[in-house]
């Protein structure tokens, strides 16, 4: 029986010549080399809550307190949700760097969620509305350096205006997940879009569970005003916004 939703993903099947596929686990780390980098504090350990407790505390928050999110808290949320948690980090003069001398470099590049072909096509952007140091703006999360790349050419104002819900504008930050799928689409064809959506679901649940452990509130959001959003965070070819989440301290917290 034909299903229009899944039929789309079966179009444009991947090439059968396996030599044309990208290497398994071949990763392209997107960076903005000319952007100012804001080093995030070295991520500490999460409080020893049980997985059961995290699931019970996990809920959608739609009322946020007027309280900024610290760089340390934001860094913890990003690192434990979607960072290179299997890598070894060494301190350098100006922050942290992924240890390059690991015996198993492939293991070091794993993340806390599965990805089709180990290609990890999702990119994490942050629209930071409330920050204790006044460094609000739009940022790209640089996984290899555990840093925020400041993107002053992107518009925080349009990012906020593009949101459908007022409560989301009251959050401390919005996490935007982009599907940047060149390698995934080269390997899987249109089926790669389905893999990207599945992966976004895995990563979104991580944000919920890590936020619960940190005491943060999260609300998953389904859409934006597209024309306004294009003026906020421009998308390159083969890029799509697939998921975004409002994050902040719940009302009555602190």
Reading the chain (254 residues) residue by residue, the pLDDT tens digits are 456 666 667 676 666 555 666 665 567 788 888 899 999 988 877 776 667 777 877 888 898 988 899 999 999 999 999 998 876 555 444 444 445 444 455 566 778 899 988 889 999 999 999 777 777 899 999 998 899 999 988 988 888 888 888 888 999 999 999 998 888 888 888 888 889 999 999 999 999 999 999 999 999 998 888 888 888 888 887 788 899 999 999 987 65
pLDDT at 4: 64
Contact 142, 31 (CB under 8 A): yes
CA angle 84, 212, 70 (to 5 degrees): 70
DSSP summary character for residue 117: G
- Backbone phi, psi, residue 62, to 5°: -125, 5
pLDDT at 2: 57
CA angle 41, 42, 44 (to 5 degrees): 110
pLDDT at 12: 67
Contact 176, 240 (CB under 8 A): no
Three-state secondary-structure class, residue 50: coil
DSSP string, 174-210: EEEEEEE-HHHHHHHTTHHHHHHHHHHHHHHHHHHHH
Q: Report d(CA 146, CA 130) in Å as an integer.
A: 20
Q: Report d(CA 248, CA 67) in Å as an integer.
A: 8
In this structure, how many other beta carbons lie within 10 angstroms of the beta carbon of residue 59?
14
What pTM, to 2 d.p., does this model score? 0.86
pLDDT at 101: 41
pLDDT at 249: 94
pLDDT at 199: 95
């Amino acid at each position: 029986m034909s299903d229009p939703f899944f039929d789309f993903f079966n179009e444009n099947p991947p090439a059968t010549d396996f030599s044309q596929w990208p290497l398994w686990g071949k990763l392209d780390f997107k960076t903005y080399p000319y952007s100012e980098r804001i080093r995030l504090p070295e991520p500490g350990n999460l409080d020893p809550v049980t997985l059961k407790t995290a699931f019970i505390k996990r809920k959608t928050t739609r009322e946020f307190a007027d309280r900024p999110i610290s760089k340390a808290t934001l860094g913890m949320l990003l690192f434990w949700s979607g960072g290179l948690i299997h890598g070894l980090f060494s301190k350098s003069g100006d922050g942290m760097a992924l240890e390059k001398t690991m015996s198993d470099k492939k293991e070091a590049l794993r993340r806390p969620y599965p990805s089709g072909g180990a290609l990890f096509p999702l990119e994490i952007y942050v629209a930071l509305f409330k920050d204790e140091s006044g460094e609000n703006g739009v940022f790209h999360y640089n996984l290899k350096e555990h840093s925020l790349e400041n993107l002053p050419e992107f518009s925080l104002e349009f990012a906020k205006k593009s949101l459908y819900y007022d409560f989301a504008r009251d959050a401390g930050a919005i996490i935007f997940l982009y599907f940047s799928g060149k390698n995934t689409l080269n390997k899987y064809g249109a089926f790669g879009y389905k893999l990207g959506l599945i992966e976004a679901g895995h990563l979104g649940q991580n944000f919920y569970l890590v936020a619960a452990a940190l005491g943060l509130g999260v609300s998953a959001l389904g859409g934006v005003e597209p024309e306004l959003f294009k003026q906020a965070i421009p998308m390159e070819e083969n890029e799509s916004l697939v998921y975004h989440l409002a994050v902040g301290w719940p009302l009555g917290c602190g």
